Amino acid sequence: GENVEQHPSTLSVQEGDSAVIKCTYSDSASNYFPWYKQELGKGPQLIIDIRSNVGEKKDQRIAVTLNKTAKHFSLHITETQPEDSAVYFCAASNPYTGANSKLTFGKGITLSVRP
């Protein structure tokens, strides 16, 4: 089955700097890669996603890039703000497993933005 690795487990950046979070996946058939932000005590919030037919997608300060050959994808946050501090999860999905779009999650990374 799919295996999603997310490293490191924590990342600290200065407010205004950029943050990059990387994930790797193992199943070359996976074609959907969402990123979720989870604040303490809340459910994950979908912030951006990408499908395998594109290499990059942007939404204001957030972008995601996908390298299918290397099987890794990254979340880029520019001009970080304290409210970006949260746990970020990457995930991958293979629609051909017949598993109703089941997502495989990485272990999450805690991003801290220092004021």
Partner 1 sequence: GAVVSQHPSWVICKSGTSVKIECRSLDFQATTMFWYRQFPKQSLMLMATSNEGSKATYEQGVEKDKFLINHASLTLSTLTVTSAHPEDSSFYICSAHGLAGYNEQFFGPGTRLTVL
62 versus 78: smaller Cβ distance to partner 1: 62
Cα of 17 vs its chain's centroid, Å? 18
Closest separation between CB of residue 103 and partner 1, Å? 6
Interface mask toward partner 1 for 38-77; x: CB under 8 A: ---xxxxxx--x----------------------------
Q: Dihedral sign, CA of 77, 102, 29, 10?
A: positive
Per CB under 8 A, which region of 16-24, 60-68, 70-78, 97-105 contacts partner 1? 97-105
Tally the C-alpha atoms within 13 A of residue 76's C-alpha that lie toward its C-beta: 13
* Tokens (6 digits) for 16: 């205004």
